[in-house]
Amino acid sequence: MRPHLTIKDHFRETKLFNFRAITSVLVSALLMVVIIARLIYLQVVDHELYATLSEDNRFHIRAIPPTRGLIYDRNGILLAQNFPTYALEITPERVKNIDETLQALAELITIDESDLSRFKRELKRNRPFKAIPIRTRLSDEEVARIAVNRHRFPGVDIAAELIRHYPHGGLGVHAIGYVGRINEKEKQLIDESDYDGTDYIGKTGIEKFYEDILHGHVGVAQEETNATGRRLRVIEQVPSEPGTNLRLTLDAKLQQVAEEALGDHRGSVVAIDPNNGNILTLTSTPVYDPNLFVTGIDRKTYQELRNSEDLPLFNRALRGRYPPGSTIKPFVALAGLELGVVKSEVSTHCPGWYRLPGDRHRYRDWKKQGHGAVDLDTAIVQSCDVYFYDLANTLGIDRLARFLFPFGFNYKTGTDIFGELAGLMPTAQWKRKNRGEPWYAGETLIAGIGQGYTLVTPLQLAHSTAIIATYGKRMKPRIVGALENANTGETKAIFPIEESSVTVQNKENWDKVLIAMERVVHFWRGTAYRAIGQDAPYKIGGKTGTAQVFSVKQDEEYDEEKVDERLRDHALFIAFAPVDAPKIAVAVIVENGGHGGSTAAPIARKVMDYYLLELEKMDFSESVAKKTS
Amino acid sequence: MSLFDSSLSDFSQVSRTQPNAWHVDLPLLLGLLILAVTSMFVLYSSSGQNVDLLWRQAIRFSLAFVLMVALAQIHPDILKRWVLWVYVAGVILLIGVILFGDVGKGAQRWLNLGLFRFQPSEMMKLAVPMMVAWYLSEHSLPPDGKRIFIAFLIIITPVLLIAKQPDLGTALLIAGAGFFVLFFAGIGWRLIVTIVGIGAACAPIAWYLMHDYQRQRVITLLNPESDPLGAGYHIIQSKIAIGSGGLFGKGWLNGSQSQLNFLPERSTDFIFAAFAEEFGLLGVLVLLIVYLFILVRGILIAAQAQDTFTRLVAGGLIMTFFTYVFVNIGMVIGLLPVVGVPLPLISYGGTSIVTIMASFGILMAIHTNRKLLPR
């Protein structure tokens, strides 16, 4: 390149350049001022705002969910525990495209329809920073597969969580209940902050009744996190308080015996220690596996349970309302004696039927040919219906009902298991109120033999049995015997609650009824003699019962063979033993079991045998083993 | 060569600094060293005390300083002789990038020359203003319409090629560098206003030509909260970092936004936010003063330059440098859209350091040769 040799006006050029140079410095300085103004705005004027935002970035409050209290039986056998599992959670605000993420995840692990629909439901009602589980109970392989692909899924995390587990499956499920995911309704009842980080809540049974103390109290950790939400350090922490462990009065082994004794029958066994109201067993069959409900049951299994004719989900022990049948007779007899309507030594003639004056209707005895001359003892031992028709008729429904109320009839026992229903002991007033009709005398008759409107639950029947067995001592049935502090292991016994006793004017009346109940089992003509009485190694007081499921028409025969199994009578049996100093009171109901004596009594016997013979033997041998070791 | 070039410069009266043996301008060197040391401190904090990264940056600075000193030894006349060929080679390489370039971060910017990867657009940051300066300095200033038009073609050719990569940020900065030379050459104010006007009128067309991510950046600038965890995340977190720094800053190594990874690109494009968080408004003012000092020194060098070519080159390069500073800070504080422009000599990254130090080498060469002839 050769330089041009043109004449230039250097002076003008330089002047021009200098002017431009000064201009550019001034413009640059002006831009600097703009920058500084903006910085003053950010760093001085709005400093507070950004400082707060910065702290918000750094610090997160994380809830530390408490560990749910454990449930033990009376001997320390674990009935409900917490099992560590892995769940896959998605934090919506950290995921760009949730649908795509779900699709990609579905290629790695199985995510079925119910998982998806539950997730979408939760997605709508939770705030975007809250992690929502998409799958629970991941297998080890699934955890590994997610872990390897984690970089692909920001906002998707594997969370370890403790899941309720019932190691014995269905054993005692109707007493223990189960936990499940918190639903919308429950959310309104609980203090949501206390359930932060907890997905489960007691749904029924003990799990629900004792929810408050089983749950414990949530803890919080204030943590410093980085942009990806990784925990860097804990600034401050208030540890969670674990829920209280429950020690039940229930005996798991006895529970098993009761469930096995019921076998394939639909029915219920409730056994109570009359001295303190301790529920020893509370059985309703068929049982179901509560573990199915914990993380959400799938629709199909639920429908199967729901639609099963055997109604496994139905808690017969607490909610089954059955006519007590003849098991009510000892109570009615005591009413007759106490209110002076009958005398124990005076006999009535039983022709096999009873007729009210001015009525042609024949109220039949279960024994067609009749019992002949029947006194109170025979009426109970042989379960004569006619004797009680007459007694009830003389007594009247209101007097009868008022006498039976203190024995627990018509009321909830108030036990500490969620879901109990009350039975029904009708009065004339009740009928007017609820049916809009007057009381008919005939209805008093059948009330006298535990039919008609009268209804009891197995729990209430066992409770009533315990009251009659102990001359009116009323111990409120309860299933939690002690509370254990999960941190210290300190155990605090819960004292039994004694309610005002049932008092009688003449204790001999009571003796007579109890002697008759003993003879039901041990006298050769007793209705339970053949089934359980002849070889009983201890004294049992009892009463059989048979409750009609459908009414037999006037001139029809009740033929057990012909009647559909489902329409057969319910078999009932109440018992207490040993008679001298009762340790156990039992009520057994076998749906469509036929006769109380042959079907229900052996079940009660097995429960009592195990409790009075096997358990004591075992306790003895165990204590011996302890001493020798 | 004119006898009167420097003797008629007003500014030459101001500075009496004698060229030293190394041809290094000491005030400029001082300013650059302050920036380099600052960079090391800020990077140490923002990288999470990553010493490896610090070493790499230190090596880059050293190499860049060596290059600067080397360039300072070269007489501007030699640059003048070579500039056309460098420019032509640059354009050819840019075409090569489009045909054979490597893709990095969604754009083709790199040319793989076997041994190393090379960004021809970086070279053009120097070549374009020098080429325009050379072309305009051949004739008396201010340039006439035809010359301005040809200068415009010189600028627009590489700019379009770079915009196509796509690297709109660099393209605009190079266009700016060329424009600064035209500005110093004395094009009329009316024309300047017209160019700015046409630029503004072209905005809708530019919007239409933009890639989605570029549009997103503009939207984000206008309303960062529209997408707080996506495109707006950078700018929101950056503002939080700066704002929470306050007047005095959180202190070195104490910036939670940058230390805890909330601030994205905190060692590269957004390092200013990390700096502002830890050193506060006062620290930022000091930093800006250093930049302003370098700018004024550069302008002085331009004013004292020996001939038209060097004067225009010096003016163009120093203004380009300042533009970098302004665009980067403007972006980080939310005044300008997010464009990938590093903060000169503070951000981590080799290419920009080398280019910038090279331009200062050229400035030093211009300054040391300002009085080839006695006044």
Sign, CA dihedral A21-A26-A30-A36, equals: positive
Is A333 within 8 Å of A149 (Cβ atoms)?
Answer: no
pLDDT at A622: 44
Rounded average pLDDT over A414-440: 93
Between chains, do A51 and B296 touch, taking CB under 8 Å as contact?
no
Q: What is the spatial distance between Cα A428 and Cα A431, in angstroms, rounded to a whole number? A: 5
Chain A residues inside the 8 Å CB shell of B262 = 57-58, 226-227
CA distance B303 to chain A (A): 6
Residues 572-611 of A with CB under 8 A from B: none
pLDDT at A538: 93
CB-nearest partner of A36 from B5, B180, B285: B285
Q: What Cα–Cα distance (Å) separates residue A33 from each residue in A37, A370, A457, B283, B326?
A: 6, 116, 87, 15, 11
Chain A residues inside the 8 Å CB shell of B321 = none
pLDDT at B238: 87
pLDDT at A413: 94
pLDDT at position A626 over 50: no
| pLDDT interval class at B108 (50, 70, 90) | low
CA distance A150 to chain B (A): 19
pLDDT at position B225 over 90: no
- Bridge partners of A480, per DSSP, are A248
Q: Which residue of B has its CA nearest to A95?
A: B229
A26 in B contact zone (CB under 8 Å): no
Is A245 within 8 Å of A72 (Cβ atoms)?
Answer: yes
| pLDDT interval class at A430 (50, 70, 90) | very high
Chain A residues inside the 8 Å CB shell of B183 = 20, 24
Chain B residues inside the 8 Å CB shell of A9 = 140
Is A611 within 8 Å of A586 (Cβ atoms)?
Answer: no
| pLDDT interval class at B228 (50, 70, 90) | low
Q: Residue A446 region, left (φ>0) first, then alpha (ψ -120 to 50), else beta? A: alpha
CA distance A268 to chain B (A): 59
Q: What is the spatial distance between Cα B339 and Cα B327, in angstroms, rounded to a whole number? A: 8
Contacts of residue A565, Cβ cutoff 8 Å, sequence gap at least 6: A592
Chain A residues inside the 8 Å CB shell of B135 = none
What single DSSP character describes residue B227?
Answer: S
Q: Which residue of B has its CA nearest to A52?
A: B244
pLDDT at position B13 over 60: no
Between chains, do B261 and A50 touch, taking CB under 8 Å as contact?
no
pLDDT at position B6 over 60: no
Interface probe for A, chosen from B244, B295, B319, B321 (most Cβ of A below 10 Å), is: B244
pLDDT at B375: 38
| pLDDT interval class at B202 (50, 70, 90) | confident
A308 in B contact zone (CB under 8 Å): no
pLDDT at position B28 over 90: yes
Rounded average pLDDT over A102-116: 85
Is A93 within 8 Å of A126 (Cβ atoms)?
Answer: no
CB-nearest partner of B281 from A3, A43, A226: A43
ipTM of the complex: 0.87
CB-nearest partner of B281 from A24, A44, A58: A44
Count of A–B CB contacts within 8 Å?
151
DSSP alpha helices (H): ranges in chain B?
26-46, 51-72, 76-100, 120-137, 145-163, 168-185, 189-209, 212-222, 232-245, 256-259, 271-303, 308-332, 350-368
**Among B196, B273, B266, CA closest to B239:** B273
CB-nearest partner of A58 from B184, B256, B292: B256
Rounded average pLDDT over A119-130: 74
Interface probe for A, chosen from B134, B196, B260 (most Cβ of A below 10 Å), is: B260
A2 in B contact zone (CB under 8 Å): no
Residues 234-263 of A with CB under 8 A from B: none
Least confident stretch, A316-320, A490-494, B202-206:
B202-206
**Model confidence pLDDT, tens digit, residues A181-211:** 888 888 888 877 788 878 889 999 999 999 9
Environment class of A442 (CB within 10 Å of its CB; exposed 0-12, middle 13-18, buried 19+)? middle
**Model confidence pLDDT, tens digit, residues A18-27:** 899 999 999 9
CB-nearest partner of B141 from A16, A44, A46: A16
pLDDT at B284: 95
pLDDT at A185: 83
| pLDDT interval class at B19 (50, 70, 90) | low
Q: How many CB atoms lie within 10 A of CB A80?
A: 28
The H or E element spanning position A572 is strand A570-577
Is A456 within 8 Å of A423 (Cβ atoms)?
Answer: yes
pLDDT at B11: 45
CA distance A230 to chain B (A): 10
pLDDT at A627: 36
Q: What is the spatial distance between Cα A333 and Cα A448, in angstroms, rounded to a whole number? A: 9
The H or E element spanning position A305 is helix A299-307
Q: What is the spatial distance between Cα A622 and Cα B175, in angstroms, rounded to a whole number? A: 96
Rounded average pLDDT over A59-84: 87
| pLDDT interval class at B339 (50, 70, 90) | confident
pLDDT at position A625 over 50: no
**Model confidence pLDDT, tens digit, residues A329-385:** 999 999 999 999 999 889 999 998 999 888 888 888 888 898 889 999 999 999 999
Environment class of A228 (CB within 10 Å of its CB; exposed 0-12, middle 13-18, buried 19+)? exposed
Query: Which pair of structure tokens corresponds to residue A356?
Result: 């009210």
pLDDT at position B109 over 80: no
pLDDT at position B198 over 90: no
Q: What is the spatial distance between Cα A9 and Cα A469, in angstroms, rounded to a whole number? A: 131
| pLDDT interval class at A571 (50, 70, 90) | very high
Cα A587 to the chain's mean position, in Å? 20
Domains and CATH numbers, chain A: 83-165 (3.90.1310.10), 261-309+316-604 (3.40.710.10)
* Average pLDDT value for chain A: 87
Is A593 within 8 Å of A265 (Cβ atoms)?
Answer: yes
Q: What is the spatial distance between Cα A465 and Cα A575, in angstroms, rounded to a whole number? A: 7
Residues 387-446 of A with CB under 8 A from B: none
Q: How many CB atoms lie within 10 A of CB B227?
A: 14
CA triple A599-A602-A605, angle to 5 deg: 150
Least confident stretch, A20-29, A230-239, A375-384, A582-591:
A230-239
| pLDDT interval class at B15 (50, 70, 90) | very low
Between chains, do B9 and A16 touch, taking CB under 8 Å as contact?
no
pLDDT at position A402 over 80: yes
CA triple A23-A43-A49, angle to 5 deg: 140
Is A460 within 8 Å of A317 (Cβ atoms)?
Answer: no
Chain A residues inside the 8 Å CB shell of B11 = 18, 21
Between chains, do A24 and B315 touch, taking CB under 8 Å as contact?
yes
pLDDT at position B114 over 50: no
Q: What is the spatial distance between Cα B298 and Cα B366, in angstroms, rounded to a whole number? A: 10
pLDDT at B141: 72
Between chains, do A16 and B142 touch, taking CB under 8 Å as contact?
yes
| pLDDT interval class at B290 (50, 70, 90) | very high
Is A174 within 8 Å of A315 (Cβ atoms)?
Answer: yes
Is B270 within 8 Å of A78 (Cβ atoms)?
Answer: no
pLDDT at A288: 93
A501 is catalytic: no
**Among A322, A310, A309, CA closest to A263:** A310
CA atoms within 13 A of residue A625's CA, in its CB half-sphere: 6
Helix (H, G, I), strand (E, B) or coil at A255: helix
Between chains, do B288 and A94 touch, taking CB under 8 Å as contact?
no
Say what the alpha-carbon torsion angle B177, B178, B180, B185 is, to the nearest 10 degrees: 150
A618 in B contact zone (CB under 8 Å): no
| pLDDT interval class at A129 (50, 70, 90) | low
**Catalytic one of A240, A268, A326, A464:** A326
Least confident stretch, A132-136, B15-19, B56-60, B234-238:
B15-19
pLDDT at B313: 94
Interface probe for A, chosen from B1, B240, B319, B327 (most Cβ of A below 10 Å), is: B240
**Model confidence pLDDT, tens digit, residues A453-509:** 999 999 999 999 999 999 999 999 999 999 999 889 899 999 999 999 998 889 999
Percent of chain B past pLDDT 90, that is, above it, reads 39
Q: Residue holding tokens 């033993």?
A: A577
Q: What is the spatial distance between Cα A569 and Cα A599, in angstroms, rounded to a whole number? A: 11
* Average pLDDT value for chain B: 82
